[in-house]
Each structure stands twice: as structure tokens, then as C-alpha cells.
Chains A and B, each alone.
Chain A
Amino acid sequence: MTISFDPTEHDHVGKPLPVRDAREKVSGRLRYANDLALAGMVHGALVRSPHAHAKVLRVDATEALALPGVVGVLTHEDTPRTVWDGCWFNYRGPALDGHARFAGDEVAAVAATTPEIARAAAALIRVEYEVLPAVLTAEAAGATGAEPVRDEGNLREPYVAEWGDLAAGEAEADHILHAVIDHPSQQMATIGRNACLADWEGDRVTVWTGSQTPSELKTGLAMALDIPQSKVRVQALPTGSSFGQWWSNNFMMITALLARKIGRPVKIELSNAECFATVKRRHKELSTGRIGVTEDGRITFLEIDHVMDNGGYGFKNDVGFFCVDNWGRAESGRCTVRAASTNLVTAGCMRGVGDVTLGNCVERLCDMAAERLGLDPVEFRLSHQLRTGEPLRHIMGHDVPEVAQARSDSKAFRAKVPADWPEPFVLSSGSTAEILREGAAAFGWDQRFVGWGKPNHCDGEIRRAVGVGTGIHCCGVELEGGTAATVRVNPDGSVKLHASVGRHGSGAETTQVQVAAEALGVTWDMIEMETGDTDSCPWSHGSIASNTMYRTGFATVSAAKDAKRQILEVAARNLFNCDPDDLDIRQNLVHRRTRPDNERYTIAEVLNAVRSDALGQFSTVIGRPTEAMPPSTTFARHFAAHFVEVEADVGTGEIRLLDYLACQDSGTVVNPHVLMNQVIGGAICGAGFALHEELHFHPETGAVMNDGFLDYKVLRSADFPARTQVIFGNSHDSVGPYGARGAGEAPIAAPVPAICQAVFNAIGCWVDLPMTPERVIAALDRLGHTPH
């Protein structure tokens, strides 16, 4: 394992410290939302539409209300018509509006003294529907005369990124290759179900639920309830596995509304089937692409048309396709994303959004080109993937006027950026180059890759072969900005870090403390962190888009440095009688930089000296970010290069993973344990998508048919190779905290093309996703002969 700096220069950064809540996790004491109860609480259950698309004509709750134990019912008639927006357009709609947009959509809710009574009451609520024509595919959504799923119409404005002269690129190409890849919808398939509890005190509501995005949830609740944000307090709790499922979800809005209606605290706990079928999923995405290459290996153009479905309430018009950046050396390109609303369960950002799907299409096209030219896939990536300092092809928000302006006048814009920061609009640091090279060497690629479509081992019906794939994702989205943190140093020298991040297993509650401890100079046991309480944590995007280390970490470090500055000013004035710049803090002790062992005071001593400070300061220090993080000036990405060996049985169609190497470039590694877990976890979820995972929708109602682990297969322990290795790249980012960038999403993007390529090399043809035994056999049948 290579680590990107000399760990001895840091006290906390780079150390494999155990995660902060490890003891609670192994002892079963960590409190998830479904463990929580409130005094006087009642239980809610949701009434869901059986139809894909329908108007609610009448809700008759007479029978339900007559059931002993039932406390009250909420319908769209009690619900403000204000539309709430989930972050990054993952949801747009009123909490309830009498219009069911998918089978499983909420139409009413009921509260009762026990969950069983609530569920029984929900079944007794009679809803009269006017059934509307259902739009079940993106294609149908765009057809003339299609029934509108939403008032805004079914189609979002196409999102286009283009560069160079496509026509010239096409004319110059010696070979043009095509691919069409139908990406099924993946389910987050969370382990752990979520619950939401809401309690009103007067006109103010507190909501407890598992969420990666506490601040966004507060914003969403204020919109859905039509009240000021000051009246909403979110106490976000740890989630089970999430992968983007638990951001802000409509059932949370309904819980708060139901509690307000009946005047009692309410808890709604979703069943596993509800988690699978009614909340969120990855989009169904159909990628159609072409690539042109010259005989000498130049990519002259890359063109992709990508169609995705948003389901009922998603409102995205793009998927963050950083994969196009990664192959940005292509001389020209056009990538068009077209999104449509359908009467299927809402689709939104699942881990690696876009880079898992569209990224797979880009990688496929490049692999097809490399195969045609007989070039090694590692070498082909090394030749064509972007390097540090090269211009990005696709700038998120390129159509936003201020971004367009900044790009067109980049000199003036450059002047606003700190001198030691990277040039704007270019890749800030890192690339796939180093991890590809190191990975290829460690994997023995040159010996194990024996040519395109050729297994390196055959035995009866068994074929073995290797594959490589690369993945990329952002480190937060440039335009998002605004993320903050505060660091409060108490009179006894203990520290509380307030930064709103998710606790879904990504270790942010640990790594944020590591960078805060490093910046402040205290030992990490002195710091506690609050992640979920929106009354104390400043606004932040939360843990989405791999932004937690890069952006929240930046704010955390900045706030810690501000707290440190204040402490040193007090110490300089009251104790040392020197310039604050001559002082430093390490291991909780304030000392002179030049003579660290001479005169030393604890932080508590410094802050207690303030009690008599003539300037009347307080003995609590609050640090806040002093450096803005200009959202559009620095473009960081993180990278994955995965190497895999598979075994295909051409008789049964079964694919087994034999060996796996995951290489990751996230800049500085803040906690190797946490990062390894993220990398392997991503690889396993991506491998699941490549091999098994696919939601099935009912042909008439669009309802999710495989709404549990019985019918939705995910990888288990024995399905992933025992031989698994991780290598970290060595880059350093001049903006990210101690050189670190994002981490969690490139690792789910790389396995899909890597495994597809390995299967191609084993059996000589590309297989549709997911590559189940039936599909492998079907692909072999199309090939018309048993290979080799």
C-alpha cells in the first residue's frame, strides 16, 4: 500500500484510527432511527396507490377512524400544495397532492397507537381513483400525446456537453464503432430500514430520521410544510447502508404533517419492501454511443446519447458524467443526456450516478476501439485519459451564466483564486495514470492479459481472463458552495466540531475529526463531533457527491484554524507576551514554535486566562471558516482503476470473480482503514450491478416486483474474491484538506467496465447487464459457436 505523504509529519492525518462509533456498532448500541421512541408517540402507516398513474377522487376514512386505537388520518386535503425540492433535483413535488405518479406512491397516512393497528387502518381507508394512462418507459414518456406524468411535462431540457469539431473528427476516423447498452435500474437495497419521528412544540417541529443530508432535509421540510426554516429542527441519525437512498424523502415530510394534524409525536417506520419499492433507485439508463479512431490510435470523436428515466418525482436533467472528463483527450465529443418522467418509483442519485452507467458506455466504446486496433486496454487508457492540469471537457453548470462568463474570461477569474490553487477549469490533481501503472505491475497485467477476447486459461468449459476498468467522480459539485463548519473550544480545552455530514458508514464522523485535530493541534480524543443537529450545525450539502472530505473537510480545517488563531492570540497577549505567529499548538499544548519544550500551557489554561482578560472576551472560542470555498474555481476528481480476473463457465453461463485489485487516487489518504472499506465496498456494489442486480417492474402497473433480498440478489461474502488488494495513489491536492479529495463513488464505477471486459476476454463477446448465466448463454448463442 502506498500512502501519499510522509505520515510522520502528521499526528492524525494518514493514521488508520478506528472509527469513532466502532464500539457502539459492534455492541449493537448505536441508535438508528428505528431504535428511537418518544413519550406519547403514536405510529403512522402509509396508504399507497395500487395504480401507476391516478387521480384521487375521494378518500373515505370512516372505517379506519372507527377502528379502536386509530388517532387520525392525513390526506392531500390537509397538505400544503407547496412543492419541496430534494437536493440535486432528486425529488420535486408536494408531499401529497391527490395525484399518484407510481404504484406505491403515498396518497394518505394514518396514525394509531400501535404499528399493527396503523397498518390495519391503512388497509381500511377507501380511496376512489380515476385511473390515468401510465407512462412506463422513457421512450413512452416522449411519444406524441403521451400522458403528462407531471405538470411541467415529461421531458427535461436535454443536457449537452460538447467540445472540438465532431464532423471533422468523424471524417478523420479510420474506424467507427457503435455500442448500445441498456442499463437496468439498480436498487440501493439498503440494509437497515429507515424510520422518521416528528414532534411539534407549538409551531416548531423536530424530526429524527436517518439522513445523509441534514441541512437539505431541513430545507425540504420547511418547503413541504410551508413554514420558515427556523421552525424546523432536524436531528439526523445514522442510517444503515444508504448509497444515496436516505437524503430527504417524502415519507419524512408526511410524518411531520401527520404529527401536526393529530397533535402528537408520530413515528413511521418503513418496511423492507417499502424501502425497496417506494423511495428511490438508480435511473434506468439507455446509452447509445459511437467512437472514431485512427489507425495510429487517436480518438477523433466520442458521441453519446444517454436516455434516463426520472420516475415519478425525480427532476434531474443530467447525470454527473465525469467519465467524459476522464476520456477528455478525445479530440472532439458530444454527450447528450435526455431525461424523462415516468410512472415508476422515483429515480435519483445512487452512488456513482452517471459514472456507473454512462461511464460504462464510454469505457465500452474505448474498449471496442482498442480491440479493433489490437491495443492493450491499460495502454489505451494511459494514452487517452486526462492528466492533472489538462482542461476538463464537461463543466457542471456550464450553462449557468456566471460559469460561462468565468470560462470566457479565465484570466480575470484566475486572479481571484489563491496563487497556490490550481488553475480553474482544469483537473486540479491526480489522474488514473499512476494507479493504472502501479496496478498493472502489481496485478501482473502484462502476463495475465493475453489479448482481446482471449482467455488466459481454458479447462473444459471453464475460461479465465482478466479485465481492467477505470472510474471517476467529482469531489462535490463545483457550483454547490456554501458548506460550513464550526469548531467550539470549551473552557476545559475540549472541542466540539459541528459539521453536518451523513453517518451511513463512510466514516465522516471520524475523518472530519482527524483533520480538525490536525489543524487545531489537539489530540483527537479531545474532539467530539455533532453531525446531525441542524440547530447547531451550520448549513452544508451533507454527504453527497463525494464532497465530504474535500468540501466539508475544507470548511472543518478552516474553522479549526480560525479557532486556533483565536487561542494563540489570547495566549500571545496574556501569557507569552509575543506575536501570535510565534506560537503553535501541538498535543493540546500551546508553546513557542522555536522552543516547544520550554514554556507550555494547556488550552484550558489559555482560555481560563481570558476570564480576567481586560478585553472582556469569553472563555469559549468559536472558530468558523474564514476562507470561502469559491464553488467554481477548483475542479477536483477522484479516480479508480480496478483489475479483475473472472472465470466463466460457457456451459452454465456462470461468472465467478477470482481475483480483485482496486487502485484508488483520492489524494492524501486521511484514514487508510476508512478508505479501503469505501473502495472495496464500492467494488462489491459495482460488481453486483455487473453480475446480478436489476429491478423488475410490473408490465402494467410498473410496481417493483422484486422488492426484497429474496428476489433481488446482491453479492455475499463468498461471491467476492478472497484475493482482494487495494493500492492508493500518490497525488496531493493543493485545495483539499492536507491534500485529500473525495473517495466514495469512483470505486463503484470502475468494476462494471472491468468485469464486462474480463468476461469479453473470457468468452469472446460482450454480455448485456446484469451478466446473469442466462444472459451469458444468450450472448454465446448469438456468437453462434463456443469460443476457443
Chain B
Amino acid sequence: MRLTLNRRETELTPAPLERLSDTLRAQGLTGVRVSCSEGECGSCTVLIDGRPVTSCLMLAAQAEGTSVETIECDDPATAALQQAFIEEQGFQCGFCTAGFILTARAFLARTPDPSEDEVREALSGSICRCGAYPFITRAVLKAAASLRGAA
């Protein structure tokens, strides 16, 4: 099947019922973290045509013809979020981090100037068991400000 993976035309041959998360991880994209495998935690989030999707619930075949982006994709908004997550320490163990950053990236694309509560709500599909939420929220607000400044 053909798709755009991290902005490159790519040809993949997943097994018939393979989940997208497994296909991507098999490509060496370790930033696609799989935790719950049931769509509840968000750690496996990737962007499909710019929308956040839990890749553990999606069949790889469904991604045919789409543009799939992972944390490994070079992107200014991702970079701004990564920098802000480092500065605000928006993580502890780091397992959930890529999922939060990609969810936040899609959210900021729609809502460039969010309130704190909007950020907290927008990220509530994901779980950070370490409980870094307040620092994640700050990081997203900080990245939003820097992206607005850059725009």
C-alpha cells in the first residue's frame, strides 16, 4: 500500500489485520509508543491527514493513501512543542510524551490561542500516569505563544 509517511512517499506491505501502530514501529519509529492497545491512553497517537488518531486501534490498511505523521516527522510546531516540553518538564517517564505532543500539535493547529482550560480538556483523551499534566499544560501554552510569535 502507498501512503505519505512523515512527508515521504512510502510503500508498505502490512499483514492483512496488522494494526497501524505495529506497522509503524516495524519501520523503526519507536516514537509510536504502544501501551493500552485499546484506544484509551493515547500514547500511540499519530496524525493522519493532520488529525490525531490512536494507531493501536486502526488497521494499517486503513491508512492507505493518507498522510501519516509521527513524532519523528520534522515539523516546526512539533519542534516548538518539544522545546517547551523540555523547558517545562512536561513528562516524567516519557512514555506518553510523543502522544501528548502530537495531540497538542493538532489541537494548536485548530486553536492557536487556547485558554488553560481548553488545553486541559483537549488533552484529556490521553493518560499521563506519572501525572505531569500541569507541566504538560504549561508546555502547550508556552509552545502556542512561541508559534504565534513565529507566525
Contacts and interface: CB of A to CB of B under 8 A. Distances in A.
Interface of A: 18-19, 21-32, 34-35, 189-193, 238-243, 271-272, 503-507, 673-674, 676-678, 680-685, 708-710, 714-720, 722, 724
A229 to B, nearest CB: 28
Contact of B129 (A25, A708, A714, A724): A714
Contacts of B101: 26
A189 B35 CA distance: 10
A25 B79 CA distance: 13
Contact of A709 (B30, B36, B98, B134): B36
B70 A242 contact: no
B129 A239 contact: no
Contact of B86 (A22, A685, A710): A22
A673 B127 CA distance: 21
Nearest to B84: A26
Contact of A677 (B32, B96, B119, B135): B135
B89 interface: yes
A671 B103 CA distance: 29
A27 B93 contact: no
Nearest to B125: A716
Contacts of B37: 271-272
Interface in B93-150: 93-98, 101, 116-117, 119-121, 123-137
Contacts of B82: 23, 26-27
Contact of A673 (B31, B89, B95, B116): B89
B130 A241 contact: yes
Contact of A191 (B72, B127, B137): B127
Given A240-B93, A677-B132, A191 B124 contact: no
Interface string B52-94: 0000000000000000001110000000011001110101111
B134 A724 contact: yes
A241 B92 contact: yes
A684 B131 contact: yes
A535 B29 CA distance: 30
A714 B42 CA distance: 13
Q: Contact residue range for chain B? A: 35 or more
A189 B91 contact: no
Contact of B130 (A30, A677, A719): A677
Given A27-B72, A29-B31, A717 B130 contact: no
B129 A685 contact: yes
A723 to B, nearest CB: 9
B47 interface: no
Contacts of B89: 18-19, 22, 673-674, 676-677
A716 B97 contact: no
A717 B35 contact: no
Contacts of B71: 26-28
B130 A191 contact: yes
Nearest to A18: B86
Given A26-B82, A716-B127, 10 more contacts: A27-B98, A28-B98, A191-B95, A272-B37, A680-B131, A685-B129, A709-B40, A714-B127, A717-B121, A717-B123
B40 A708 contact: yes
A676 B134 CA distance: 10
B43 A191 contact: yes
A717 B92 contact: no
19 contacts: A18-B87, A25-B85, A27-B82, A28-B98, A190-B129, A191-B93, A191-B130, A241-B95, A505-B94, A673-B89, A677-B135, A680-B134, A708-B36, A714-B129, A716-B127, A717-B120, A717-B128, A717-B133, A720-B131
B49 interface: no
Q: Indicate the member of B87, B101, B120 with the most A CB atoms within 10 Å.
A: B120
Contacts of B43: 191-192
B41 interface: yes
A722 B137 contact: yes
B119 to A, nearest CB: 8
A28 B86 contact: no
A709 B41 contact: yes
Given A241-B130, A677-B89, A718-B120, A192 B95 contact: yes
B11 interface: no
Interface string B9-39: 0000000000000000000011111111110
Contact of A507 (B92, B136, B137): B92
A272 B129 CA distance: 14
B35 A32 contact: no
Q: Closest 7 A-B residue pairs measured CB to CB? A: A28-B31, A505-B92, A25-B94, A684-B131, A505-B93, A681-B131, A192-B95
B33 A28 contact: yes
Contacts of B86: 18, 22-23, 26
B27 to A, nearest CB: 12
Contacts of A708: 36, 38, 40
A671 to B, nearest CB: 9
Contacts of B133: 680, 684, 715-717, 720
